Amino acid sequence: MQLTQSSVGRKIIMAVTGLVLISFVCVHLLGNSSMFFGADAINAYAQKLHSLGPFVWVFRLVMLAAFAIHLVFGIQLTLENRAATPETNVQVKRLKTGFGAETMIVSGGVLFFFVVYHILHFTARVTNPEIYVPLGDAGMVDVYFMVVNGFRSALPVIVYVAGMIFLFLHVSHGFQSLFQTLGLSNDKSLPVMGTFGKLVGFVLLLGYIAIPLSIVFGYIKL
């Protein structure tokens, strides 16, 4: 009750689910980087994941739960915060907060639609069914072929680059925020975590957009 209804309890839930999500985003990037080591590398990585069997689904359900909880409480808290501030002063000058912090609900919303598109694109095989070709007999697809062809047209490339810019904005505030919420920061560590959080966001941005851009500029090709 306290955890799911109180002000601080829900913040803690936001921080824990945020930690789960950002950990996944980091590991996902490491896995995806296999694209730079050729078709065999990324396909071996995909095969290894598939060999985990039911654990893949357990993992997916945990991620889905974390994502859904983060989304629902994020919207709920934002609505409450807006209600707590029915009108603002004519002149408002912010001293400390930044664009990323003030637009968390916007960047979060964009990331939700990005993740839906991403799953339809590369997991559910809805938007571009032509990029899937079988590999071997075990029901696997050629992931290298899928990714390279998935970024052949301009639209997905634009969507992914834009999505990752919003990820950067979200992480640049969220990373240090989760440490503060979990009570893990003090006056000395807080500014360091603020800078480190922006750095993490920037590394994620560069890392993720490197893959579609390498395909566009022909560094990664079939």
221 in contact with other proteins (CB under 8 A): no
* E-strand stretches of 63-210: 134-135, 140-141
3-state secondary structure of 135: strand
Among 64, 190, 192, 199, binds other proteins (CB under 8 A): 190
Q: How far apart are CA 127 and CA 133, in angstroms?
A: 15
87 in contact with other proteins (CB under 8 A): yes
Report CA 213 to chain centroid distance, whole Å. 18
181 in contact with other proteins (CB under 8 A): yes
- Going residue by residue from 20 to 59, which x/- string records binding to other proteins, judged by CB under 8 A? ----------------------------------------
Residue type (1 letter), 9: G
| DSSP structural state of residue 65 | H
184 in contact with other proteins (CB under 8 A): yes
Q: No. of H helices and E strands in the chain?
A: 9, 2
86 in contact with other proteins (CB under 8 A): yes
| Contacting range for other proteins; rule: CB under 8 A; set: 48-56, 108-116, 133-141, 183-191 | 183-191
Q: Which is nearer to other proteins, 166 or 179 (CB)?
A: 179
Q: How far apart are CA 220 and CA 39, in angstroms?
A: 10
Contact 181, 11 (CB under 8 A): yes
CB of 95 to other proteins, least distance (A): 4
Q: Which is nearer to other proteins, 4 or 51 (CB)?
A: 4
Among 51, 102, 134, 158, binds other proteins (CB under 8 A): 102
18 Cβ contact list (under 8 Å, min separation 6): 70, 174, 177, 178
The sign of the CA dihedral 176, 28, 207, 107 is: negative
96 in contact with other proteins (CB under 8 A): yes
17 in contact with other proteins (CB under 8 A): no
| DSSP structural state of residue 89 | -
Q: Which is nearer to other proteins, 90 or 138 (CB)?
A: 90
Angle value at C-alpha 37, between 33 and 40, nearest 5 degrees: 110
| Contacting range for other proteins; rule: CB under 8 A; set: 50-58, 94-102, 124-132, 151-159 | 94-102
Binding residues (CB under 8 A) for other proteins: these are: 2-3, 6-12, 77, 80-81, 83-97, 101-102, 104, 173, 176-177, 180-187, 190
